[in-house]
Amino acid sequence: MSIIKNPWFKILLAIIFEDGWVVGIKHANSLVTWGLTLLALGLSFLLFMLASEKLPVGTVYAVFVGLGTAATVITGWLAFGDQLDLPEICFLLILLSGVIGLKFITEEKK
């Protein structure tokens, strides 16, 4: 299977675009940045829907929201100097372990 057709790859791309639109909502300040924010929003949900065609929607949603949350927290920390302390790191690791567990137990629809 080509990586582009892989539903897990589509979720990963959706999460990258999700991180973009979430950050864009906070930081967009011009027509161009708002346009990019809306583009990221549309692509994020399009890829989410495409991944849902081959995987259970509950799993797709949990992975999308879980990894999207982690990506947004990490982006805030790296790019904008948001605080990231030990309890947040612990809870992100718990969140990521659940998402990874779902990935391992989920089968693709044929």
Task: Report the chain's mean pLDDT, rounded to a whole number.
Answer: 93
Overall pTM surpassing 0.85 (yes/no): yes
Q: How confident is the model at residue 2 (pLDDT cuts 50, 70, 90)?
A: confident
The backbone torsions φ and ψ at residue 84, rounded to the nearest 5 degrees and listed phi first, read -140, 105
Supply the pLDDT for residue 109.
75
Residue entry with tokens 């690791």: 93
Convert the pLDDT of each residue in 71-102 to its tens digit: 999 999 999 999 999 999 999 999 999 988 98
Number of other CB atoms surrounding residue 11 within 10 Å: 26
